[in-house]
Amino acid sequence: MCAPCAFCGGKRLAAPLGTRCAIDDAMDYIEKWKAERERAAFLALDDGTVFRGVAFGAKKDALGEVVFNTGMSGYQEILTDPSYAGQFVVLTAAEIGNYGINGADTESRALFLSGLVIGDLTEPNNWRSEKSLDEYLKENGVPGIYGVDTRALTLHIREHGNRKAYLCVGRGTRPACPQPEQERAPTEEEARAKAREWPGLDGQDYAAKVTCKEAYEFSPRPLSSVSRPGDESDVRHETRDAMNQSPHIVCYDFGVKTNILRALAAWARVTVVPAKTSAEEVLAMKPDGIFLSNGPADPAALTYAVENIQKLLGIKKLTRRCGDAEKGDSAPLRLCGRKIPIMGICLGHQLLALACGAKTTRLKFGHHGCNHPVKNLATGKVEITSQNHNFAVVGDGGRGATALPDCLEVTHVNLNDGTIEGIRHKTLPAFSVQYHPESCPGPHDSDYLFNQFRNLISRSEAENAERPLIESLRSPRLCVRYNQHHIL
């Protein structure tokens, strides 16, 4: 605050020229301009376009694919969504950072995005704030750039599609002393060339980069750390004995968000497993339901996941593992004798479709935001949904419901572009949606899908009450760390 003057008394009101406040404001602006000049940065796209701004966050350059998100709030949840791995996220909201960062709103154990691109960076002013956005990015090694014309950048992506890019957070336009060759910031032309040489996300398995390292049992946060109204109902206070009576869900972590696990843990015991966990190992955990999570990049690259889902559906035969494999016995077993309900979202939705014979394709600029209208074909109702994906299900080389395999039925469609947003299997207890029903951030129009999964599990339990899990699979070595028992 400036020293009191006759005009404002130190309150920094809009001051006329010549007053002490006006002089102080001018000095502050000059200092700010100098500081930003020293942190000049640019984002070079592979098509030659360059967007300039000011660096913040971690001081390191990065490569990635540029996508835009139209959400008006929820930047912390967006930042911590593993589905953004390998991408520069452009936030179209005008001001970012005004409510800071807090420990309760993170959606994963780390930040996996390549960088953040915003218009105006503001200092936090909120009672829940624990640190600034700038501090948070620095702590997590993620670079950012502000002062960018995000409207122009968004329009460019809409017209030309998602672009590969190189973010140079530079060392200022005028370094104080010459830098060593290995430290020299690339020129704009060199940055464009780096962007063009980067392989991109197509055909890349980024789920393996963001998944958990080993299986674990999810424990919801205590009530004291609940961050938004309504979360109280998601926190379980049952004893361990009561938890053991709840349905057991095994969640494949392809990049799962915490709020998804919290939604499931409201009524089930949840075990999270790495993306490459075999179907045989999952079945050894005796799940009542299997959840296929969201995740980044190209679903077609996850051939191992598609194979495992086919085994879990009973489409493909199981194989012996561990001790049996050591004996050289790799003969296939019979199909899984139990119909286990499966629910997938986002990447999990695409993987379920691939496992059933459908195909996926890349969208021009993807769906990223909290305001995407989706129609439920069974009810005719329209849901406003939260979405984050670059690929979509299309079936046998065509587009839309008519291209799907006969075993699948379309349940939801996107009202903006007509793409498939939901499917169900006609004879097996499996369904999926392209969007995020946990909606963090976003509206809660799609909460009912978790109850739909719960009801599917209840019906399946009644139907499978007398059936063994897998009659022929007896390997005592197929145990899991947190289940504490072997397959029968």
Give catalytic residues, as residue numbers: 346, 436, 438
Conformation bin of residue 328: beta by default, left when phi > 0, alpha when psi is -120 to 50: left
N-to-C CA span, the chain: 72
Residue reference for tokens 């009912």: 448
Contacts of 130 (CB under 8 A, 6+ apart): 100, 101, 102, 103
Query: Are the beta carbons of 72 and 188 closer than 8 angstroms?
Result: no
How is residue 73 written in tokens?
Answer: 């709030």
The DSSP code sequence of 414-472 is: ETTT--EEEEEESSSSEEEESSBTT-SSS--TTTHHHHHHHHHHHHHHHHTTTS-S-SS
Burial (0-12, 13-18, 19+ Cβ within 10 Å), 238: exposed
Q: Is 299 helix (H, G, I), strand (E, B) or coil?
A: helix
How far apart, in whole angstroms, are the C-alpha atoms of residue 136 and residue 130? 10
- C-alpha distances out from residue 316 to 84, 273, 309, 331, Å: 31, 21, 9, 13
Instruction: Give the residue among 173, 257, 210, 456 at the shortest CA–CA distance from 342.
Output: 456
195: number of Cβ within 10 Å: 24
3-state secondary structure of 71: coil
Backbone dihedral region for residue 429 (phi beyond 0: left; psi -120 to 50: alpha; all else: beta): beta
Q: Rounded to the nearest 5°, which phi and psi values hold at 277?
A: -60, 130
